[in-house]
Amino acid sequence: MKKRAAKLKRRIWIVFLALKDPGTPLLARIVLALAVAYAASPIDLIPDFIPVLGQLDDFVIVPALVALALGMIPAEVAARCRREAWKRWRAGERIGGKSGIAAAALFALLWCAAAVWILCAIFQKR
């Protein structure tokens, strides 16, 4: 279990670095952004309160999107990101900082805007 957790941490670094790498194709960046958005989103295709299936969609969809995106990245870019991810992971660095705060704020604003839009649509029909 510890080996899998460590491997997952390194893959998160690889995804983070691939998003920032200029050699990553636009479509791969979009797919990676969708994976991150789906993982961070409180809204799922199958709600989490449904036993087993609610959590299963998170364990299937997010890794599938990440695998798809990593398959779109050129081999030399992926190798460079893997090497850099290994170095950073071994050094104990964490993903975060200003970009993480900005991403969290952007997600919060998008969900607030969506909630306001839905409430306006509901109350205008009455």
Are 70 and 114 contained in the same domain? no
Instruction: Please report how the helices 75-91 and 2-20 are oriented relative to each other, as an axis angle in degrees rounded to 10.
Output: 120
Joined tokens for residue 66: 């990440």
Q: How confident is the model at residue 97 (pLDDT cuts 50, 70, 90)?
A: low
- Range(s) of the domain holding residue 118: 96-126
Asked whether residue 26 falls in the same domain as residue 62, the answer is yes
In this structure, the answer to whether residues 84 and 102 fall within a common structural domain is: no
User: Is residue 30 located within the same domain as residue 83?
Assistant: yes
Residues 60 and 102 occupy one common structural domain: no
The predicted pLDDT at position 61 comes to: 81
Q: Do 123 and 73 have their domain in common?
A: no
The predicted-structure confidence for 43-95, as pLDDT tens digits, reads as follows 667 776 777 777 777 778 888 888 888 889 999 998 998 898 888 878 877 66
Task: Give just the sign of the alpha carbon dihedral 37, 42, 45, 46.
Answer: positive
Q: Indicate the number of domains in the chain.
A: 2
Residue 118 has pLDDT above 70, yes or no: yes
Residue with the larger pLDDT of the pair 21 and 104: 21
Quick one: 89 and 118 in the same domain?
no
Any idea of the CA torsion for 62, 109, 27, 14, to the nearest 10 degrees? -50
**Distance between CA atoms of residues 69 and 33, nearest Å:** 10
* Start-to-end C-alpha separation, the chain: 53
